[in-house]
Structure 1
Amino acid sequence: MPHAREVAVTGIGMITPGGPTAEETWRAVCEGRSLARTDPELAGLPVDISCRIDGFDATASFGRPLARRLDRFTHLSLDAARQAVTDAKLDPAHWPRERVGVVLGVGSNSLETYVREFTLLGEGRPRAVSPMALPRSVPSMVPAEVALDLQVHGPSFSVASACASGATAIGVARDLLLAGTCDIVLAGGADSGRARMTATCFAQMTALSRRTDDPSAACRPFDVDRDGLVLSEGAAVLVLERPDDARARGAHIRALLRGYGSSSDAHHPVAPHPDGAGAERALRAALADAGCVPGDVDHVNAHGTSTPAGDTAEALALLRTFDGTPPPVTSTKSVLGHALGASAAVEAALTVLTLQQQHIPPTANLHRQHPAQELDIVTAHPRPTPIDLAATSSFGFGGQNTVLILAKP
């Protein structure tokens, strides 16, 4: 039955360590093998592993001047946005530019650029600092560059809710459509966590897995032997429209975004509330927004970072919300790693594909759960499952929690 607050997903663009498209990323997560490996760019650091994108040539995609002007996280967002628009069968040369918006989440900006430019400044060489250092690294430039590339004249802005940023952007985009501000919104997230400073900071916080001798076994969400996350990079963009508008132009509706919920832990700068109270509030808010109850949900794409505290809090929140029996769960970070501000958008896109394919991709490296936190986690192989409604959860530093509810059209 149609829901008054739902919007349609009519296009997906994605570039991740799993592949340069949504289809290749989907195949990678369904194989259920971690893509983590030693990263030459992190050589000499306490943790030198990551999940990285290979073979992406920004110069070939955008031309040398634009490629040089932009940082990697913006390169990735442009690529995903172009893919999404093509997938939605939209033509930027003919769409209503003033009625199109861009909302993208960014968890961090370009620490790689800042390190290089601050080094020049520290060496007493201010005239060598690039005049583009600031505009190329400001988070708001990600949606601005997408708007410039695709000639979007409607609202264009970024949102930052740490590792929930991509999902928050999708929720805000939904509200722009429901308010009548836009007719089409490109929404998602982009980030690259492979800068040496980023990796160093996460290592100093003891947030990273130290299994550097066996990278493919490092990320193990919900496993009792987990010891931290694996950094990654990527981008995902969804095209959102009101369902009636999408049908009127003959668009293929991939899924319906039916609910959006958000909350704050107000507990600690980086640690989640130990019993997952904020995560539970966001999940219940999303369910209420979607007009459904926990029993209606057939699948959860979990945040599942592989950190001891984070996975425990999430498991407890799921067990309480679903009265001890949550639906089948997966964590695609086990394969793709944690792409920070992009991760929630990537997982939203993968949840759309799960609804379309009607099977759940497996979680890699799960061998044994804590008996008091045991979930029905899909492992080893994709699980065919009738799925009408799915939730995807995303949480971040500062106690930021966002949950999206997606439905089969």
Structure 2
Amino acid sequence: MLSLAPGLLPRAAAAQAVLTSLLVVALLGVAHITRRLRRPAADRFAGAPALRHLVLAAAVAGVVASVVHAASWQNTLRDAMGVARTGPQYWSFWAAGSLVLTIVLVAAGTGAGRLLRRIGWSRGLVMAVIATLPVAFFGIPGIAAASGGAADSGLVQPVATTRSGSADSLMSWASLGLEGQRFVTNGPAGAVRVYAGLQSAPDPAARAELAVRELDRAGGFDRSHLVVAVPTGSGWVDGRALRGFEDRFGADFAVAALQYSQLPSWATFVVGRDSAAVSARALFSAVEEHAATLPDPPRLYLYGQSLGALGGSAVFAGAAEQNRRACSVLWSGMPGGGGREPGARTTVLANTSDPVVHWSPELLWRPPDLTGARRDAPTPGWLPVASFVQTTADLLGSLAAPPGHGHRYDVDQGTALPGC
């Protein structure tokens, strides 16, 4: 029933089946351990068939009621977000998928238990560590590196001198990485887009210095507006935000970004969130210092989404410093509603259906602070543990939501940027 508690986003039947199976297997494991620890009580329960039947009937009734409520809640969310409603096929797939996956997981767990009893727990633990370490040290970084350096045949090296990666650029096209190449393509030819990838320079300070020289070369400091964009953990800058800046400023603006990781935001959040703050500080400070030497400097803005918002908020020690150093800032989808005290000219975009905004370990015991969040869809009431479980599951599909819902923000990321 915990797996069917109300969530924040529409969920595919397969994802719901996986969640249900994992929780059922976890519950069976807890029940097995409890029974072994309290065998006399379990034996007394086994001798009371009437009580067993009563418990079974209550469990079946609870599951049926949970399914009915879950179906109603899913359709409420889907209606609000313009997504097709669920039907009998959805719940039939969920039931069958949950059953099959639970059987597979229980069989695998039983087999693993028998193997451990045969070879011993200490030897089994050593074998598990030996098998896992190569994946942790080589597999995950290798996948991230391959993803970051992968080519996209739909991307064409820019010819405009206002873009990084062009023939006149200080950065090679290949050094930008996949997300950097996406960043510098499309958009008005007059707008300046500068991106320093991980391969463009060896460390954040060097990449920031290179980005400033590239901005100077491309004419970025000649524009009236200059946006420092802090990417997500993978190096991605939302194209909808870039279109918003273009709607707001036309071609009279420049935008610069510095890559600090190739891992997904969640992985960077766990193992290296400080890298976002270090990179954001390096670029903004370098841009600010160069702009201060100019007779007519551009207005400086700061933008970040997700982990980029968290890292960008660390650029300033507090609201007073932000007000002094930046024209304005905009954060979208800030993880856990975190970040430092915002300045006067700050816009924070947060959807109430965004699990990234909701999630934090504290969600286990207290509701999230959604002050200022935009109510884009119905929000379930907070429940201890259940809300944490559901929000954690929703994180996996946060970018699959329709535009304007979940962790997908629209062009208002640019158009809602405050003025000076």
Same fold (TM over 0.5): no
Which structure is higher in helix share? 2
TM-score, structure 1 as length reference: 0.24
Q: Which has the larger radius of gyration?
A: 2
**TM-score, length basis structure 2:** 0.24
Which has more strand, going by share of residues? 1
Higher relative contact order (CA 8 A, sep 6+): 1
